Amino acid sequence: MKPSSLLFWYNEGMKVIPREAGRVTYSTEIRNLKKVPFTPLQKALVIGSILGDGCLCENWSKTNYRLFINHCIEQKEYVRWKYDVLKNYILSEPRFYARNNSLTIRTISHSELSELRNTFYKNKQKIIPQNIKEFLKDPRVIAIWFMDDGNAVVRNTKHIGYHFNTQSFTREENKLLAECLYALYGIDARLEQNHGRYRLAIWKHDSRIKTRNLIEPYMLKNMYYKLG
């Protein structure tokens, strides 16, 4: 299958404007986009992606930050959804990379993304900020985080738990995430070692039910497989 055929749903009716990433002089349209605040859903998507597989990268002039999202081609409908939510901040359709069979989207740089970069990064390393509880109050953030980095634990065909694959964060950061999930939603997430790092594991039956009930309304149907 050709890359272009994988992306047919991005191209139709799309307006292309000069790409910031290509070091093109800013158009008035791009300048105006940078003044448009994110909607609550857009902000939830950005934060959930930061907790998951997304990253905030410098723009070419190193003066602001943009969101970079990359997912495998099997999750093309998930990429499409993210694109559709953020498309007023995206200047070109998702790009297919054959070397790792993935799709990538990039937003323009934006002051709100720069603020989040200051919150969620320290010394160029992604962190969990002390005020993470404020961000987790929106269940859409948790749903997007789970679609990015969560999975059901199934043993002998039986669903026994959930993982949030938070191995990129420290033990203390994982502990903070677990404390916030319990304080906000009564979800008992335990710290579990995995290859010398830590991740969140949800084993108790009532906490599994609470987790599913919390995030399922905001998940794409083709991502339900992660719920087990």
Question: Do 130 and 122 meet the contact criterion of CB atoms below 8 Å apart?
Answer: no
What average pLDDT score do residues 213-226 get?
A: 97
Is pLDDT of 10 > 60? no
Please report, for residues 3, 73, 102, 124, 151, the alpha-carbon distance to residue 99 in angstroms, rounded to integers and kept in the order given: 12, 12, 8, 26, 25
pLDDT tens per residue across span 33-75: 888 999 999 999 999 999 999 999 998 877 889 999 999 999 9
The domain ranges of the chain are 3-124, 132-227
Q: What is the reported pLDDT for 31?
A: 81
By percentage, how much of the chain surpasses pLDDT 90?
Answer: 80
CATH of domain 3-124: 3.10.28.10
Alpha helices in 34-161 (DSSP H): 40-51, 76-86, 111-120, 132-136, 139-149
Please report, for residues 43, 50, 156, 173, 227, the alpha-carbon distance to residue 111 in angstroms, rounded to integers and kept in the order given: 12, 16, 48, 26, 35
Please state, in angstroms and rounded to a whole number, the distance separating the CA atoms of residues 28 and 164.
41
What length is written for the chain? 228
Same fold, 3-124 and 132-227: yes
90-99, 140-149, 193-202: the lowest-pLDDT one: 90-99
Options 3.20.20.140, 3.30.70.980, 3.10.28.10, 3.20.20.70; which CATH number does 132-227 get? 3.10.28.10
Q: What is the reported pLDDT for 26?
A: 58
pLDDT tens per residue across span 163-192: 999 999 999 999 999 999 999 999 999 999
Q: What is the reported pLDDT for 14?
A: 38
